[in-house]
Every structure is written in C-alpha cells, then in structure tokens.
Structure 1
C-alpha cells in the first residue's frame, strides 16, 4: 500500500503538468487550424460571389436569362458549390442551378450589402450586383463638377457552398491532433514511470524501513545510494535506527539488571520475613510454655490462698500481668492464623444489635474507669456477616478508640446506605494525620508510643481489623481530623429481617461435673504437667500424666482402663507431635476418645496442620475457663463417634480472632 501510494503520487506529479500542457497545445493548434479553414472557405465564397456578380452585371442589365443560366451552370462546376441563384432587383429569379437549401429572407433582394447565412450544412453568400458607372470624355464636359451618384442595384447573386468538405477537414484535424496528443502522453507516461520509479523506490524503501522501526524492528536499515539526492535522508534514517537500537539494548540491560536486583531484594525480604516468622513462632512458643504453667499455678494458688487478703492482692496483680501478656500473645496468634488462612468465615443473617449489646457490656466499665463517655446507639437492622469475626473487629476498633481518647467520649452507631449498614466508631481522641492513615493498618505500627510502652499493646489491633475485614469483604473507611478525633466505619451488607437460623444450644446446658473423670495429660514440660495436674485434681478429676505416648500407654495398661479424655501438647520430644500421639493412643485403645490439643506454636504451617486434624485446639497460655468449657463438651460426648479427619471444629471464644 505504501509503494502504491508513493508511486501514484509521483506519477500524478510527473504526468499532471504534461497532460495539461499537451491538452492546451492541442487545443490551441486545433483552434488555429479550424479558424484558418473557416477563413479560407469564407474568402473563397466571397471571391466566387464577387466574380459571379461581375459576370452577371451585363446579363441582368440586358435581361439575358440565357447568358445568366450559362453563368450559373458554369459556377456549379466549382468544388463545394451546391446552388447558384440569380435574381433581379424585384426579386424575380432569372437563373438557377442546383437545389437551394436556404430560403432568402423577404427583404434580402432590396439590400445593397453582402449578406451571409449558415444553415443545414451550407453557407449562403448573397452578393448584390450593381451597374458599373461610365466615365464621360472631358471634351464634352461643360466643366461643371458632377455630383457622384450611388450605383444602381441590378439584382443579386445567391451562392450556396456545402460545408461538408470543411467539416471533414476539421474532423481530420481533430483526429490528428488527438493522435499526436495521445502519442505525446504515452511517451510522457513512459518517461514519468521510469523517472517515478527512480524517485519513488528510494522513498518507498525509506518508508518501509521507518515502518519496520516503528514496529520494533530496530535492526532495519536502508541501502544508501551514493550521489543520490536522498543520500542524506537515508543515512539519517540509518543513524536514527542505530541509536534507537542502542537505546533499546541499554534499556533492556538496565531493566534486566533492575529486575535481577529487585528479585534478589524480594528473595532477601522473603527470607527475612520467613526468618522473622520463625523467630516469632519460636519465641512465642518458648514464652507461652512457662506462661501457660505460670497461669495454671496462679489459679491454683488463688483457690488455696483465697482467704488471705495480701496474698489475694498479689495473686490478682500476677493474674493481671499474665492476662496482659496473654493478650499480646493472642494478638500475635491472631495475625498468624489470619496469614495461615485457618480462620474460616461462617456467615449468617442476624440483628446487628446482638453484637452492639456485647460491645456495650464489654467496654462500658473500661470507659467509666477512664472517665470517658461511652454510648452505643442500637439499631434494629439485620446484617449478613460472621458474628464472631464482626465482634472482634468492633472490639479492636472500640478498644483502640478508648485507649487513645484522653477526654470526651466514644460513640458507636449505625447508618444505612443503599443496602449497606455502616457501623461507625467515633472518638474525640488526638486524630490521625493524613500521612499516617494507611500506616496504622500495618503490623506493629503505633502513633504516640515511641517508648514502646507495652501497656499500649503491640500495634496489631488495626492490622487484625484490616485482615478480618478483607476476609469478610467488609470495607473499612477512616475519617480523621488531627486534634478533633477520628471515625472508623465498617460497611456490612444488610439482610432480610428474621432470615437467620436457629441458635445452637448453649454450652452451659452440659453438666459441669468432672468428679471421677479420668483425664490423661501428655506433655514433655514438667512445670506444665504439674500445673495441669493441680488444676484438674482441684476439679476432682483422676489424672494420668506422662511425657511420651509410650509412657502414657504403659500407665493406662497398668491401670487397666483407658482415660475419658486426653489432653496433649502439640510439640513432644524426639520430633513427635501431639497429632501422632493422639492417633497412636486411639489405635492402641481401639476407640476414638475425646482429645484436646494444646499448643504454643504460631507458625502458619503448624496452625494449618493442627486445624486440619479435627481436634479441639487451645493456645497457650490456656485460660482455665476455656479448658473447662472444652472438657465439658468432650466428656458429654465421650461415647459418641469422633468427627472425621479434616473437619476442624471451633471451640467457643478461642478459635476466633
């Protein structure tokens, strides 16, 4: 297409002037020749008419029709003469030869002027015939000057000439002119094509090379013709392509180097993140183990020394510290479980006020203790979400608002907008600058805590909010004005009223009597075993404890009967896990005894493995209330078949964030 376009344009540029000049020259030539032919024909007609008029003068004067007829017949022998008519001054025809084709006008016979008419392919010349004037001899002249008189009109000679021969000549001239023009145009076209090829071919090659460069073929080059008018342009295109190719190569090299550097940094960051996760998991496990035993010891001492006021106060202080540490460990655990993907949402339709009432009951005492106003505006709207996960989000938002508000208050309310309920938490705290409104959702990021005061938490609350909100597809909006306060809004889809399912039976309907129940404890940490034994014995349980499944099986065999419930640590000696130990003990006893798995491990792969086992799961440090609740459930169904592998159960209050 490019070749055709350029060649056509070059041909048009070359041929257009030639066609115009040839046409003009041919037109001028033909016009001149036709004009010459027409003039020659007219002059011949005038000459014949004058000659006939001169010869017819005597015959008209004498009225000799015979001589006039002979004259007319003689004129017919001239080429192109079609008719001759001689009339007198009265308009009477005295002689006629041929067949006239043009009728004379009525007053033409009285005209003393020569008249011409063209009609029907003939040319008529009406020539007047006047009497010649005779000169008188001066001898007989009396000397008086005679006044000249106009010659007397004797008649007219009407000569009709045929225009057929002239027309043929004109047509021949036109044909010859057109033939010459065509030959000239053909020669010019051939010459234009040859010249056009010489001009357009380099242009086409240049255009094709530029097009290839534009498509990314930067190695394309144009053949340079030395001495050509386009040599400079061809060399310029080649230089441009070479520079573009070099620039592309440099850019690709830089991109490759930057990609390799980014890949290396990404791998380093991933390795650092893995190392951090391993360190946090290991540190969490190692710290949870003694905290777990410490918590159980403190609870045992509270029961034994409950009557001593000073001891009770000291134990309450120890319990507060343990609870604070437990809250920090739980926050790390929540992040690990969210990253591991072991938390599965369970959506249902329920009234939002059930969650709002829990928030009101939970945080009203804390707000009053801080001297803050705390208000929860209830709503009758129904929403679709996971009640436990939604409550955890609101807990973190309200706790964060109360912790950062020094004066004023915190307000929790709802607004319905286009099928979405916006649950909003307002506070009159210091506010958050726009530059930090994205950073606060990052892990361990805290504003106004440069000294890292642990009483203000770890900076994981909003990170947990962000992860759970993403899991539930509930957008979190933030509006904040520094110095005036903040507003966090959680957008939850609305649901039809009364669409929720029936609630499950509460756990408090299960009997709370462990007397005589045999509980096997499997743990390789002696302080944890001792603390667990003391707690279970206070609950009137029969306890069998061991540090390995082999030792436990020997004790069970010596006792003669199996346990009603098995409590096992996740990590055991020799690389063994509580999962394998529970499976082996069940196989040895031949029945699926209820089992509770306790772990201090927060590594994502460990959490996934533990949840996939289908066992009840508690995380260290274990709260006695949670353990007691799971034991009630396990002992209540001790005779029921166990749940299939891979269907993890969620114990109330623990396996949610």
Structure 2
C-alpha cells in the first residue's frame, strides 16, 4: 500500500514538472511534441532518401544498359564491315575494269554514272563504319615511318581527275620528307580535306602541298571557294553540321567528315589548323611529326620507284587469292586490263594446282580466308608462299582496320591495302613493286 502511494506521488511530481517545462518553452509548442514531430520528419527524410537512392540506382542501371546496347551496336557494325564492303569492293573492281575498255560514248556515260554512284555508297558506308569504330574504341593508330609522297602522290592523281571533272585545277607540291603516322588514318583526313575543297569550290583551283615546320610537316589543302565565317569555323567540326552552301546537287554527305577528321587528328596527336575568310577560300592543314633519324636513314637507303602515269600497262604475273568469287573475277578483269598475267584461287591448295606454269611476280591476298576452302588467314598463307618464293612482294587486302593486323603485316614485310580497294592506289603500288622486282633481276 505504501509503495503504491509513493508511486502515485512520483507520478504527480513528474506530471507537474512536465507541465512547468512546457509552460516555460518557446512559442510554437511543447518540447516533447516538437521532438515527436522531429522524429516523424526524420523518418520521412529517411524514406525519401531511400526512394531517391533506389531511383538513382535504377537510372544508373538504365544508363549502363543503354551504353551496353550502343556499344554492342557499334561493335556489330564495325565487325560486319568486311561483309558489307565485300560486294561493294567487287562492284568497284568491275566498273573500273569496264572503264578501261574502249566503249561507245553512251555506254561510257552509263559506266561513269554507276562508278560515281558506287563511290557515293562507298563514302557513306565508309563514314558510318568509321564513326562506329571510333565510338566503339576499335580504331587504334598504327604509326610507322613513310615518305609523304607515298601518300600524297596517290591522292593528287585521284583528286586531280575529280577536280578536272568539276572544272577545277588541282596543283600539287610534292615532298620526299619522312614522316611518322598511321598512313590509312592520315589518308582519311587528307581525303576529307580534298573532298570538301572540291565540293565547295565552284571555280578556281585546289592546292595540295606541304610546309616544313619546326614541329613537323604541315600537309595543306587550300581552295578558292566561298570561305568560312569565323563564327562557323568551330561548328563545322561537330557531327551532322554542314554549312549548306555546297554547289554539288549530287552531294549526299552526312556532315560527319570533319567530325571524323577532328577525332582522328586527336587520336594521332596531329594538330589541325583552319584559316579562312569569306570570299577568300579556305585552308585546312594537319601537322605530322617527322620520322626519327635512324628510320629516315634506313628508308632513304632504298628509294621507291616513281609512278609513271603514262605507262600503258603494268605487265608481270599476279597471283590473287580470295575466297570471294566475285572479288576474284573483278580483280582478274581489272588486272588483265592493265596487261598483267593473272592467276586466281580461293586457297593455297587451289593455286598450287594451277600456278606452276606462271610463277608469281607479286601476290595479292585477302586477309579473311577462314571458310571451308582455307582455315588460315591471308598472312599465314602468304608466309608459306614466300618460303617457296623468297622475296615475293605481297599485298594484303582487308577491311580490317585493326592496328595489330597492320603491325603483323609490316613485320612480315607485306604492303597493306584497305577495302573498298582504290584501283589507282593498287595500280601505283603494283608499278612500284614490280619495278623493284625487275631491277633486282637486272
């Protein structure tokens, strides 16, 4: 009984104390009520924080899935480029072979139209494949020393003809300087410069040349076109941005050319430069480092034969190994038109059966030979053939831009050309290699 009374007394004291504390609190309510409200708010904050974290996690997952899907798409397009380019490569070979024939004017015009259409498709497809390789991180530079004219002579000859068709004059200033870069990627840059110069120049001339700078050789492409306002000079290097003043109605560009140029130059660490004023044309250039002194000396010891554009035929015996029948037929038609003796096959075993009477002066071989006819790649097959024919010049032809593949081919001493094959580039290379072979044989 006494314990119950003491408990009651304490409860009264506690209630009295609470009443006094609440009566002396600040305006806005009792401390205990404020405490309960604070606890409630804290619980709500915790719940909303957890919900926000869950939402952020879902967003991160969605972003990762989107990036994976985009990466998969770009890798797929880059991976299937060989199959996409095979029929286009065959068609280009056939049309080029037809152009070598003495055709009636109406037929020649039709063949010319087909060739131009194929070039348009090649340019568009090549642009899409290049941007996909860049996005997927599959395009890696393969830098090696070479003479500037090894690249620029071919481009000058090719674009001189294109400029002439458009009523323009192309002036070319050659250079024997040794530079170090990825030849294929650098060619992509200069091709874009030349294509844009012809596309936007209505009359006048185009300049392709070189300037010696302290930091390297500056490869320059200038034109007498409408020029580019300073406000637009940065924008034209962005994707899908075009000035809209092209005079060529057949132009089907995507506005990705200079965006690719910008990415490639950054990858190669070759600075770009643009100088232009409205009404005074434009000058695009890229600065390429000189090759090392030891490499320069090694390359100067064996000067390459110059291209003779007046040569009526090439001659020589050319072996062609490719597992695509259309490619073989196209190559045979093209090479026979150049005066070559041609032996074609799908595999090493097949060419052994028919090439004994005509030993090769040069071998043209596709890299992808992995089908029922041949389980080895083109480099492995070429190595075996070179063991039988020491010193045999080999040209590897592929749509694979992998830098490791180029290094492997160069280690074996093979030349490498990319698909779709440029017939003029092939012709010049054959002339150079066959001239060396004939010089060695005396």
Q: Same fold (TM over 0.5)?
A: yes
Residues 9-158 of structure 1 mapped to structure 2, 5 A cutoff: none
Is 1:254 equivalent to 2:48 in the alignment? no
> 495, 502, 522: which one pairs with 2:321?
522
Q: 1:263 to 1:342 in 2, by over 3 A?
A: same
Q: 1:335 to 1:323 in 2, by over 3 A?
A: same
Residues 378-457 of structure 1 mapped to structure 2, 5 A cutoff: 386=181, 393=189, 396-397=192-193, 399-400=195-196, 403-404=199-200, 428=226, 438=235, 440-442=237-239, 444-446=240-242, 448=244, 455-457=251-253
Is 1:471 equivalent to 2:267 in the alignment? yes
Alignment match, 1:507 = 305
1:467 Cα shift? 1.2
Larger mean CA deviation between 294-303 and 387-396 belongs to 387-396
Per-residue CA shift, 1:352-374, capped at 9, x if unaligned?
xxx99999999799779768999
Q: 1:233 to 1:429 in 2, by over 3 A?
A: farther
Q: 1:571 to 1:385 in 2, by over 3 A?
A: closer
Alignment match, 2:139 = 341
In 2, the alpha carbon distance for the partners of 1:579 and 1:392 equals 30
Per-residue CA shift, 1:77-130, capped at 9, x if unaligned?
xxxxxxxxxxxxxxxxxxxxxxxxxxxxxxxxxxxxxxxxxxxxxxxxxxxxxx
Q: 1:577 to 1:259 in 2, by over 3 A?
A: farther
Secondary structure class of the residue paired with 1:574 = coil
Larger mean CA deviation between 273-282 and 418-427 belongs to 418-427
Do the aligned residues in 2 keep the contact of 1:345 with 1:471 (CA within 8 Å)?
no
> 516, 533, 536: which one pairs with 2:332?
533
Is 1:547 equivalent to 2:341 in the alignment? no
- How many residue pairs match? The answer is 394
Secondary structure class of the residue paired with 2:323 = coil
In 1, the alpha carbon distance for the partners of 2:337 and 2:211 equals 50
In 2, the alpha carbon distance for the partners of 1:375 and 1:256 equals 64
> 248, 254, 258: which one pairs with 1:462?
258
In 1, the alpha carbon distance for the partners of 2:194 and 2:45 equals 57
Secondary structure class of the residue paired with 1:457 = coil
Is 1:300 equivalent to 2:97 in the alignment? yes
Larger mean CA deviation between 242-251 and 542-551 belongs to 242-251
In 1, the alpha carbon distance for the partners of 2:393 and 2:380 equals 11
Alignment match, 2:69 = 271
Do the aligned residues in 1 keep the contact of 2:367 with 2:379 (CA within 8 Å)?
no
In 2, the alpha carbon distance for the partners of 1:589 and 1:349 equals 26
1:466 Cα shift? 0.8
Do the aligned residues in 2 keep the contact of 1:406 with 1:429 (CA within 8 Å)?
no
Per-residue CA shift, 1:125-168, capped at 9, x if unaligned?
xxxxxxxxxxxxxxxxxxxxxxxxxxxxxxxxxxxxxxxxxxxx
Do the aligned residues in 1 keep the contact of 2:320 with 2:344 (CA within 8 Å)?
yes
Secondary structure class of the residue paired with 1:507 = coil
Q: 1:462 to 1:247 in 2, by over 3 A?
A: farther
Secondary structure class of the residue paired with 2:371 = helix
Do the aligned residues in 1 keep the contact of 2:272 with 2:284 (CA within 8 Å)?
yes
Do the aligned residues in 1 keep the contact of 2:194 with 2:221 (CA within 8 Å)?
no
Is 1:621 equivalent to 2:420 in the alignment? yes
In 2, the alpha carbon distance for the partners of 1:414 and 1:237 equals 80
In 2, the alpha carbon distance for the partners of 1:357 and 1:533 equals 25
1:465 Cα shift? 1.4
Aligned residues: CA RMSD: 5.9
Alignment match, 1:583 = 380
1:320 Cα shift? 3.4
Show structure 1 runs of 5+ residues with no match: 1-223, 640-657
TM-score by length of 2: 0.61
Larger mean CA deviation between 316-325 and 230-239 belongs to 230-239
Per-residue CA shift, 1:363-421, capped at 9, x if unaligned?
79977976899999x9xxx9998596667546534643553467999999999999999
Q: 1:418 to 1:239 in 2, by over 3 A?
A: farther
Q: 1:386 to 1:567 in 2, by over 3 A?
A: closer
Residues 228-243 of structure 1 mapped to structure 2, 5 A cutoff: 243=41
Alignment match, 2:86 = 289
1:470 Cα shift? 0.7
Do the aligned residues in 2 keep the contact of 1:297 with 1:531 (CA within 8 Å)?
yes
Higher relative contact order at CA 8 Å, sep ≥6: structure 1 or structure 2? 2
1:627 Cα shift? 2.3
In 2, the alpha carbon distance for the partners of 1:520 and 1:424 equals 37
In 1, the alpha carbon distance for the partners of 2:429 and 2:191 equals 24
1:302 Cα shift? 3.5
In 2, the alpha carbon distance for the partners of 1:261 and 1:429 equals 45
In 2, the alpha carbon distance for the partners of 1:453 and 1:270 equals 38
Do the aligned residues in 2 keep the contact of 1:337 with 1:343 (CA within 8 Å)?
no
In 2, the alpha carbon distance for the partners of 1:590 and 1:261 equals 59
Do the aligned residues in 1 keep the contact of 2:396 with 2:417 (CA within 8 Å)?
yes
1:464 Cα shift? 2.0
Per-residue CA shift, 1:590-616, capped at 9, x if unaligned?
4465432223x45x66x6546544443
Q: 1:260 to 1:531 in 2, by over 3 A?
A: same
In 1, the alpha carbon distance for the partners of 2:152 and 2:397 equals 32
In 1, the alpha carbon distance for the partners of 2:91 and 2:434 equals 26
In 2, the alpha carbon distance for the partners of 1:439 and 1:233 equals 66
Do the aligned residues in 1 keep the contact of 2:304 with 2:432 (CA within 8 Å)?
no
Q: 1:236 to 1:489 in 2, by over 3 A?
A: farther
